[in-house]
Structure 1
Amino acid sequence: MERRRSFPDVLAGGIFVLIGGAFVAGSLGYELGTPLRMGPGAFPLLVGAAVAALGLAIAVKGLVAGEVVSFGPIPWRAIALIVLAVLFFGLTVRGLGFVPASAVTALLTTLAGSRVRLLTAVAVAAGLTAAGTLVFVVGLQLRIPLWGPWLGF
């Protein structure tokens, strides 16, 4: 029985290796610290190495035990809404503030699913906004306004 190489797996693995390698290379410009007192470069180094190792495993699997997989049609609506949500958040978080920017971003990404109802999407967006506010603004004390100057606050 002849095994076929999986080009998508090899390509995806290579992309993971490149991204992980970029994080590793970038982290070397920061102090790594020690295992007990990690510096600012330690976390990106570890994450980059993990991503690169995962990519290498995916690429090797694609070369050794490749298989042809059909993924079906490309979900263009979901891709467009998620890209739009990320751009929206990045462009408006300082002007609208964390709460409204997070709420709209969460709503857009939730609506990317094809079987999600509007009421469910609103509930998920409210929950994610509350959780994000608690984690990032309250817990991590990010210096970002909850409500921005565009809203008159």
Structure 2
Amino acid sequence: MNNPSFDRANLLCGLVFIGAGAFFAIQSLGLELGTSFRMGPGYFPLVLACLLIVLGGVICLQSFRKEGEPIGSFSWRGMIFILPAPVIFGLTVRGLGFVPSLFLCAFLACFASHKMTVPWALVLSLSITVFSVLVFSYALGLPFERFGPWTRF
């Protein structure tokens, strides 16, 4: 009997999507759903969760169409540099302000790649920060402090 061949990475990804969608669908059921014409606070999250479940199902089905590459080693470097970035942003944005916090987090996240160098990380972080300030502060007019009390001497 032949072993069935499938793409383990896609199967795992699809199952994660289904699990996350199911979690958020269950959570949204605790809110008022309303109707399509008078949406309650739980309606849109439920629709998005259902779409995530469907997408996960499609990815799972696609995983059985062809054999994929074996799952490689776990990327610890990515986890170490990317996961703390939003936490650091949340902890520093009130004190440092939007500009320094965003620059710091972008700079930290850059080093998730083995190929990143300090000069390129500085350029990329500065570009992300300038773009974000232009979009969120000037174009959208969001009311936040660009520089916080920790940066005032």
TM range (shorter): 0.7 to 0.9
Which whole-Å CA distance do the structure 2 matches of 1:130 and 1:33 have between them? 41
| Identical-pair percentage | 33
State how 1:123-138 maps to structure 2 within 5 Å.
Answer: 123-138=123-138
Q: In structure 1, give the amino acid aligned to 2:72.
A: G
Q: Structure 1 residues 107-116 or 5-14, which shifts more?
A: 5-14
The equivalent of 2:4 in structure 1 is 3
Q: How much does 1:104 deviate?
A: 0.7
Structure 1 residue 79: deviation in Å?
1.7
Contact 1:3 1:66 in 2 (8 A): no
Residue 42 of structure 1, CA deviation: 6.0
1:109 aligns with 109
Q: CA deviation at 1:113?
A: 1.1
Paired residues of 2:110 and 2:121 also in contact (CA < 8 A): yes
| Match of residue 88 from structure 2 | 88
RMSD: 2.9
- Identify the residue that residue 50 of structure 2 maps to in structure 1: 49
| Residue segments in structure 1 that go unaligned for 5+ positions in a row | none
Question: What residue is the counterpart of 2:23 in the other structure?
Answer: 22
Distance in 2 between residues matched to 1:152 and 1:25, nearest whole Å: 46
CA contact (8 A) 1:3 1:65 kept: no
Counterpart AA for 2:126: A
**Cα shift at 1:135:** 2.2
What is the TM-score normalised by the length of structure 2? 0.77
TM-score for the superposition, normalised by structure 1: 0.77
In structure 2, what is the Cα distance between the partners aligned to 1:147 and 1:58?
A: 44
Q: Compared with structure 1, are the counterparts of its residues 46 and 122 closer, same or farther at alpha carbon in structure 2 (3 Å cutoff)?
A: farther
Once the 2 structures are TM-superposed, how far is the Cα of residue 44 of structure 1 from its aligned partner? 3.7
Instruction: Say yes or no: does 1:97 pair with 2:93.
Output: no
Q: CA deviation at 1:33?
A: 7.3
Q: Deviations over 1:7-28 (max 9, x none)?
A: 5433321221122233444456
Unmatched 5+ residue regions in structure 2?
Answer: none
| Structure-2 separation of matches of 1:132 and 1:143 | 13
Cα deviation for residue 90 of structure 1 reads 1.7
2: distance between equivalents of 1:25 and 1:131?
A: 37
Q: What's the offset of the Cα at 1:45?
A: 4.3
